[in-house]
Structure 1
């Protein structure tokens, strides 16, 4: 969620602080191109679809982000 005032929950269901993502420094992959963008905001990691920047964002705690990255590297989410 990208607007202040909305309740955000991490992947584990824990309430997250009310993060203002409007002014976040969104970054794309290592080549600077891609649909997925991330931003580091107030100790949390937000991820969004770069083609729909006004859409919702997924917010991770640092532990959730680490688990996501480790599992992605291990092929956990490979759909091919």
Structure 2
């Protein structure tokens, strides 16, 4: 695989398995995650699977998940 960078076309990430939450809505408005061979994590919009993927370190993803679990982003959800 060639160099992976932020904003890489998701189609350039060969052999990855994309995963979305089982709580995703039926219209396909989801964020999908894929673990890369380097250990980094790619994130893409499921409505645009060929579009850009943003790449984060495991530490960045861990910080985000901890914040989500702690409710730090609840104000971003409609109706919250």
> Distance in 2 between the 1:32 and 1:67 partners?
21
Q: Which runs of 5+ in 2 are unaligned?
A: 7-11
**Could you state the TM-score of these two structures normalised by the residue count of structure 1?**
0.66
RMSD: 2.2
TM superposition outliers: structure 1 runs of 4+ over 2 Å: 30-34
**Could you state the TM-score of these two structures normalised by the residue count of structure 2?**
0.66
Residue 23 (structure 1) shift: 3.0
Q: How many residues align?
A: 66
Q: Which runs of 5+ in 1 are unaligned?
A: 10-19
Which has more radius of gyration?
2
Find the partner of 1:63 among 59, 62, 77: 59
Find the partner of 2:34 among 16, 32, 39: 39
Residue 32 (structure 1) shift: 7.1
